[in-house]
Structure 1
Amino acid sequence: MSVSLDESIHLHWQGEGQALLLLHGWGMNGRVFDPFARLLAERGFRVGTVDLPGFGLSAPLEGGLSLEGLGDALLPHLPQGCVLAGWSLGGMVATQLALASPQRVSHLVTLASSPCFRARDGWPGIKPRVLEGFAQALNQDLTGTLERFVALQAMGSASARSDTKAIRALLTEAPEPDPQALAQGLEILRDADQRPALAGVRQPWLRIYGRLDALVPSDSLAPMARLTPESREAVLPKAAHAPFISHPQETADLIQSFLGSAAPA
């Protein structure tokens, strides 16, 4: 196992093989991937887990959190020909890196992610009032707000209680997120819209969803497929927003099969 020497970004690698970097979602940190990363490493990948700036052990970005800033901060840490697998907000960051640095990113995998999380005209997503509610609650009860958001990750899954317990246990292995990074990350979820840029993704792309996801509704899958006709889609019928927690073997199978059959860009 190796750890990043850059003190501003906490990143560690395990295993041998094709480099695959896992990017976590809002309010989380890299430890949420611990069991899944070990599973992928056992399957022959060199797996990296990173704390996004302002989360876990990584320092906040001096200029504030943005998709462009996140991409710029992570780019120096990407091995040549790296596979990116981003969960939720991490999927937006992975997409940003794939668009900005096609020579460094060989394949793109997004897990329960969306290029536009907020519901808009003709686009299913999270209702604006829900996002505003989280933003207001952050100022009053940061810890409680994170607890409620963790519960949303598993809501709908048959294993929701055990999934929520697993996520909470993993997150406690690292410090709470920086409050400003949390607020700015929520602004990204509220405001960012990558849909116009998706035609520029040239890498083989696998999109994995949970049919029971409360944050990325299944109604958004058809319009997403129309936007990205060259990408591949896989839906786990009994998973919610954290398929790598509730269905790790199936999720790993999908990634391994995709990387074995998709030629790099």
Structure 2
Amino acid sequence: MTALAHSVIPGPSADADTLTLIGSLGSTRAMWNPQHRLARHFRLLLVDLPGHGDSPLPKPGSTIADFATSVIALLDELSIDSTHVAGLSIGGAIAQQLAIASPERVNGVVALCTSARFGEPDSWLDRAATVRADGTSAIAGAVVGRWFTPGFIERNPAEVAEYTRMVADTDSEGYARCCEALAQWDSRADLGRIGSPTLVIGGAQDPATPPEHQRLIADRVATSRLAILDDAAHVASVEQAGAVNQLIDDFLRGTDERSAAFDLGMRTRRSVLGDAHVDRSVAGTTAFTEPFQDFITRVAWGDVWNRPGIDHQWRRLLTIAILTAVGNEHELDMHIRAALRAGVQPDLIGEVLLHTAVYAGVPNSNRAFALGKAALADLGIPDTSQADTP
């Protein structure tokens, strides 16, 4: 299949993160015009669905998974290694599938007015038959009537007419094949596999995908946040553009900050504990332990260890003192060895342990001295400490 039609709006810098936007059934990438302001912080990649706008028809029998594969092909063509993905309705299904099947390509997900299953298959097959027989113009008015609340329709007749033309101008066969793909779509069993940070947005007055559809997604995606907007129906990105833009901007930029904190934490963790230890920890990470590994890397190593006022040597010594006081031998042994490998003098560690004995207890410090003595021997470091062990 030929690459999907698309347009790119440059971001604030050459290295700005990409945000890929995939629209609703019956739309073109022009539906994302209200989101162009997000280019203040992101490079925007606007995509026409298969068989919509300028994109070629999908093959008969194509699935949402096939559509996601076509998005990956576009990313490859544009040399985009990874992207945030925002999708509305069927675009949200494609975004889910990308996060499920290609997690390494997805930094964050925004699932707008979408579902893990869009009702019974027969309703989509009936709609496909209708547009094949009568054209998309036969359903355009009813579709757009579900896109917006009655109040918006009354206040914005020209804008509503523009979106009605957008649906009516959609290729009938392209629309029908997307309906058939939606008839097969059901991600409910796979939502737990989504590990990308996910923002789920719904419209409180959405008759096509009511809020319970978004709540189901949010309940099953562990890394999700849910926002239901009042005075919004199915295309909340237009009707509540300001609120949607702010939610997306705050969420994805927060994701970037989270990622930056993790990267800084990992560098600090390696600097303090050494590559070998960190590599073992990373290799041993499981789905169960990953949230803790993420937490400790971001918060302890990425934040606390990098606060101003106390340098890393003093933080090492404080850590040794505290671990001695609480009797945490496993962590204590690791930090004593890491400090010695980093060049902290044995005399200094000995003074810390001696001082700790006075205020936290002789038995704990006695054990700490034993661990330190063993570490010196294992590492081949001369024992020059003048401190007297209890």
TM-score by shorter chain over 0.5:
yes
Map of 1:24 onto structure 2:
23
Instruction: State the one-letter code of the partner of 2:45.
Output: G
Checking the alignment, whether the CA contact within 8 Å between 1:10 and 1:51 is kept in structure 2 is yes
- How is 1:54-93 mapped onto 2 (pairs within 5 angstroms)? 54-78=51-75, 79-93=80-94
* Matching of residue 149 in structure 1 with residue 143 in structure 2: yes
Q: Displacement, 1:246?
A: 0.7
Q: Displacement, 1:172?
A: 4.7
Map of 2:317 onto structure 1:
none
Moved over 6 A (4+): none
- Which runs of 5 or more structure 2 residues have no equivalent in the other structure? 260-293, 295-390
Higher relative contact order (CA 8 A, sep 6+): 1
Pick the aligned partner of 1:184 from 171, 177, 182: 177
* Matching of residue 15 in structure 1 with residue 13 in structure 2: no
How large is the RMSD of aligned CA atoms in angstroms? 2.6
Map of 1:45 onto structure 2:
42
Percentage of pairs with the same residue:
26
Distance 2:163 2:125 in 1: 27
Distance 1:86 1:193 in 2: 16
Specify the SS of the correspondent of 2:175: helix
- Which runs of 5 or more structure 1 residues have no equivalent in the other structure? 1-5, 120-127
- How is 1:91-240 mapped onto 2 (pairs within 5 angstroms)? 91-118=92-119, 131=124, 133-142=126-135, 143-154=137-148, 156=149, 158-162=151-155, 165-166=158-159, 168-169=161-162, 172=165, 176-240=169-233
Q: Displacement, 1:25?
A: 1.2
Q: Displacement, 1:164?
A: 6.8
Listed one character per residue, the Cα deviations across residues 168-203 of structure 1 (whole Å, up to 9, x for unaligned) are 425757993332221121122233111111111110
Q: Provide the TM-score with structure 1 as the length reference.
A: 0.84
Which structure: greater helix fraction?
Answer: 2
The farther-off stretch of 108-117 and 224-233 is: 224-233
Checking the alignment, whether the CA contact within 8 Å between 1:53 and 1:61 is kept in structure 2 is yes
Checking the alignment, whether the CA contact within 8 Å between 1:54 and 1:178 is kept in structure 2 is yes
Checking the alignment, whether the CA contact within 8 Å between 2:117 and 2:186 is kept in structure 1 is yes
Distance 2:218 2:138 in 1: 36
Q: Residue 191 and residue 208 in structure 1: after superposition, are their counterparts in 2 closer, same or farther (change >3 A)? A: same
The alignment covers a number of residue pairs equal to 249
Instruction: State the one-letter code of the partner of 1:73.
Output: S
Specify the SS of the correspondent of 2:104: coil
Distance 2:166 2:210 in 1: 30
